[in-house]
A and B are shown apart, each in its own frame.
Chain A
Amino acid sequence: MRIICTDMEGKDHELLATEEWSVMEIIREGGIPILAQCGGSCACATCHVYVDPEWKGKIPEPNEDEIGLLNGAFDVNENSRLACQIIFNKNLDGLKIKLAPGSL
């Protein structure tokens, strides 16, 4: 299974995805630089990504913590999510996301 991660230069990377891993981990282990300063504890908003609108409906809604952090982040739009809070499963095979400026 794979996800497609678009980096800040607009280049696409196909990354090996594993069920139950967070998308932040999939990006980090795929060798794409992502800050993720708090290490995935939903405390910092430095793994901000934009989810492709086509995929948005397949991902559970963000919880209150994540919404709060996104409200305080920059360059946020309606597709913004924290990658550490998106848990990969087989229904997300092919998921497309783009790194947001605050994640580098």
Chain B
Amino acid sequence: MTENNAQNPITTDAIIVGAGPVGLFAVFELGLNDVKCHLVDILDRPGGQCAELYPEKPIYDIPAVPICTGAELTEKLLEQINPFHPVFHFGQMAESLVKTPEGKWRLTTDRGTVLEAPIVIIAAGGGSFVPKRPPIKGIDAFEGKSVFYSVRKMEQFRDKKIVIAGGGDSALDWAINLQPVANHLTLVHRRDEFRAAPDSVLKMRSLVAEGLMDLKIANLTTLNGADGHLTEVVLQEDGKQPHPLACDNLLAFYGLTMKLGPVAEFGLNLHENLVTVDVATFETSVPGIFAIGDINTYPGKMKLILSGFHEAALMAKKAFTYVHPDRRYRFQYTTSSSDLQHKLGVTEAA
């Protein structure tokens, strides 16, 4: 993709914040109305909560789909919206939203992507997925300098004394990947049980057995160091005195949690951290900005995926008037409209 910035933004018809099931279905409803979409999501893949929280869990209340998993629902939605060629910007958080002198919305992400469009759809569910921070006093002073919640460059950890905390796939994968790079690596987990791929657990245990890394069943209680640089962590093992372990870098992988994040600063009316909307259009208090799915609230709101789908359809009707002000909105059915079928790519060329 070509570099873009504030001088050279990516322009499109609609920017969707959040690529969960509702954000994905919005692409479909907008697509039928000739509105092209770019989507921004902090996760590295589509599906939102369906991908992150319950990919394997069954969902029973999608109309006409008696049972599907979160992963399957995501896959089906991607197939359904494929004719509209949505563009995804993964692994980045929508950070700021401002109006341009031309009256468009300019959205900037924390990775520097700049998008401009006449409308924005907030489909951010429970907010951004961000790493859970362990409740260790003073940890914020080390964050970004010697304490990290993700790995962008492995080289950064070469010849370092690394402590990895956590017992899931991320903790094990990074322990296995960084072990050859590190000066010394210790995996710290509360229990000698891991919620991770069995292969990774075996690999980790064999590295421990060969003496190439350590495994400590303990709680991390204290971080010691100065100016953001760690020198040691203190471990508390069951029935033992707390003891220090020399450490340059701590990588904590305790899973993700949802926080509303920068959406709270977009200037929209909120009620208990949810965005209030007009139920006829799902437009927020700010014209041209819509909110659909779990992130919005209105009298009678039910946080169901199917509610979000309904909201997407009504939103798209109003969205059309911003993107195509010169055109008259036409209500059509996919069963009978050759126009819609053409957009979906399901008719023979005339």
Q: Taking beta carbons and an 8 Å cutoff, which residues of A are in contact with B?
A: 35, 37-39, 41, 43-46, 67-69, 71-76, 101-102
* Contact code string B183-203 (vs A, CB < 8 Å = 1, else 0): 000000111010100000000
Chain B residue numbers with a CB within 8 Å of A37 are: 53, 126, 257-258
Interface size class of B (residues with CB under 8 A): 20 to 34
Smallest beta-carbon distance A6→chain B, Å: 19
> Are B168 and A72 neighbours in the complex by a CB distance under 8 Å?
yes
Bound form: Cα–Cα A45–B242 in Å: 26
Residue of B nearest to A69 (CB): B195
> Are B255 and A72 neighbours in the complex by a CB distance under 8 Å?
yes
> Are A67 and B193 neighbours in the complex by a CB distance under 8 Å?
yes
Smallest beta-carbon distance A38→chain B, Å: 5
Residue of B nearest to A71 (CB): B191
Bound form: Cα–Cα A41–B257 in Å: 15
* Contact code string B44-57 (vs A, CB < 8 Å = 1, else 0): 00000100011001
Residue of A39, A71, A72, A101 ringed by the most chain B CB atoms within 10 A: A72
> Are A38 and B166 neighbours in the complex by a CB distance under 8 Å?
no
> Are B54 and A74 neighbours in the complex by a CB distance under 8 Å?
no
Bound form: Cα–Cα A46–B126 in Å: 13
Query: A41-B57, A101-B135 in contact; A46/B257 too (CB < 8 A)?
Result: yes
> Are A71 and B49 neighbours in the complex by a CB distance under 8 Å?
no
Interface: B254 (CB within 8 A): yes
Chain A residue numbers with a CB within 8 Å of B53 are: 37-38, 41, 43-44
Smallest beta-carbon distance B259→chain A, Å: 10
Interface: B132 (CB within 8 A): yes
> Are A41 and B54 neighbours in the complex by a CB distance under 8 Å?
yes
> Are B132 and A68 neighbours in the complex by a CB distance under 8 Å?
no
Q: Is the interface of B mostly helix, strand, loop or mixed?
A: loop
Smallest beta-carbon distance B164→chain A, Å: 13
Smallest beta-carbon distance B110→chain A, Å: 22
Residue of A nearest to B171 (CB): A72
18 contacts between A and B (CB under 8 A): A38-B49, A38-B54, A41-B53, A43-B53, A43-B54, A44-B257, A46-B257, A67-B191, A67-B193, A69-B195, A71-B167, A72-B167, A72-B190, A72-B195, A72-B255, A74-B254, A76-B190, A101-B135
The 8 closest A-B pairs by CB, nearest first: A68-B195, A71-B191, A43-B53, A38-B53, A43-B54, A74-B135, A71-B190, A41-B57
Chain B residue numbers with a CB within 8 Å of A72 are: 166-168, 190, 195, 254-255
Q: Taking beta carbons and an 8 Å cutoff, which residues of B are in contact with A?
A: 49, 53-54, 57, 126, 132, 134-135, 166-168, 189-191, 193, 195, 254-255, 257-258, 303
Bound form: Cα–Cα A103–B255 in Å: 15
Given A41, A43, A69, A74, which contacts B134 in the complex, CB threshold below 8 Å? A74
Question: 20 new A-B pairs (CB below 8 Å) besides A41-B54, A45-B255, A72-B195?
Answer: A37-B53, A38-B53, A41-B57, A43-B57, A67-B191, A68-B167, A68-B193, A68-B195, A69-B195, A71-B191, A71-B193, A71-B195, A72-B166, A72-B190, A72-B254, A72-B255, A73-B254, A74-B135, A76-B190, A101-B135
Residue of A nearest to B126 (CB): A37
Chain B residue numbers with a CB within 8 Å of A46 are: 257
Chain B residue numbers with a CB within 8 Å of A41 are: 53-54, 57
> Are A74 and B132 neighbours in the complex by a CB distance under 8 Å?
yes
Chain A residue numbers with a CB within 8 Å of B132 are: 74, 102
Chain B residue numbers with a CB within 8 Å of A76 are: 190
Chain B residue numbers with a CB within 8 Å of A69 are: 195
Residue of A nearest to B192 (CB): A71
Bound form: Cα–Cα A46–B130 in Å: 14
Chain A residue numbers with a CB within 8 Å of B258 are: 37
Residue of B nearest to A68 (CB): B195
Chain A residue numbers with a CB within 8 Å of B166 are: 72
Smallest beta-carbon distance A22→chain B, Å: 16
Chain A residue numbers with a CB within 8 Å of B190 are: 71-72, 76
